[in-house]
Amino acid sequence: MNRSTESSSSKSFGLLLNPEHCVVVLIDYLADFSAGLPPEEAQRFTEVVGLLLKTAEGLKIPTIVTARSNRARNAKLINTDSHGSWKNAIWRETINPWANDSFRDHIRSCQRNRLILCGMWSDDSITFAALSALEEGFDVYLVVDATRGTSSDIHNTAMARMTQMGTVPISTRQLILEWKGSVE
């Protein structure tokens, strides 16, 4: 069928992110690491993550939280109104979340092909998870305003590497609009 003659009711909107195909993955959101951000940036960052979680929860999108326990003994996750996903966080010892069997098993058990990644340390844990997921055949989206690196240069370099390999950058606003637009 010629795309230009299709009616809007017959379009599948397959390129838009549909909540039924997504899993949200939060990596290394540890409270003490956000302490290095300027206060207004830390507040905005926490608000963005909270909005993302609230929307995912409302749309019944599975959310998986993981953090490296060896990064900070007795670590606490960033407080985003005590979201339920924090209570079931997968604590791991590896830089690459994908190397953790429990983490991979949780993602696979969701039976969804689009991973929505965000977190701290775009230059290590995020990059490793994104590239490993791509290699395994997942579509990977990185929420740029809910992700940080150790510096702007390092973050931008990690973003470029992941994008070159197939990760799709997206903002929280764009992500939420696509989710809501695909279910209306």
Q: Tens place of pLDDT for every residue, the chain, 184 residues? A: 333 333 333 344 578 899 999 999 999 887 666 666 777 887 888 889 889 999 999 999 999 999 887 555 455 566 555 455 556 788 888 999 999 999 999 999 999 999 999 988 899 999 999 999 999 999 999 999 999 888 889 999 999 999 999 999 999 999 999 999 876 6
State the pLDDT at residue 7: 36
Q: Which pLDDT score, from 0 to 100, does residue 117 have?
A: 97
Q: 17-183: what CATH class?
A: alpha beta
- Please compute, for residue 62, the number of CA atoms within 13 A of its CA located in the half-sphere on the CB side: 17
Strand ranges (E), 77-134: 90-92, 114-120
Residue 129 CA: distances (Å) to CA of 15, 67, 149 = 22, 12, 14
Which residue matches tokens 């999108």? 61
Contact partners, residue 165, CB within 8 Å, separation at least 6? 130, 131, 134
Tell me the C-alpha distance between 41 and 10, whole Å. 43
**Integer Cα distance of 17 and 114 in angstroms:** 8
pLDDT value at residue 73: 47
